[in-house]
Amino acid sequence: MARKTIDVQNLPMIQDASVAILLSKWYPECVEPMHDKCREILLARGARVTSHLLPGTFEFPFAAQTLAENDFELEGIICLSVVVKGETRHFEAIVDATTRQLSQVSCESAIVIINEILPVLDIQHAMDRSEDDQFNKGIEAAVAAIEMIDWYRNIEQPFEYDNVDFH
């Protein structure tokens, strides 16, 4: 697996951005470390963070929709979860439906939603992606949220192609 570290020190500040983190109660040994890394980076870049522990991944779209409709300061939602493939189609049903519904909520509400639901074949795959190191998926989720919130806050400014850094 190719691993790339992310330089979180050069991320933009998103001062006072309201960000909600949704967490599934399943596989806390993986979800909690992702949450901790994610929250740490968001706070360091100026965000106000609330965390919501939910019964499972399938509840994320309802929670996201509810927050979008009721928290008018909300700029971002990050979904952290692990779904392990079992012997039934439950895995595919949960991941497919949740992904589709979260995308719909994001587009309809104009709120950034970051989907860091880890669909894995076994728990070790999730453990490898949630260790207390620079490859923790909570970091990727925070970075994506910060970059998208910053982008959304600045889209009314003229776009200058010469200022785009592709590296």
- Catalytic positions: 90
Residues 78/38, Cβ–Cβ less than 8 Å:
yes
Token couple for 124: 């070790």
Closest listed residue to residue 34, CA positions, set 76, 106, 82? 82
Residues 8/138, Cβ–Cβ less than 8 Å:
no
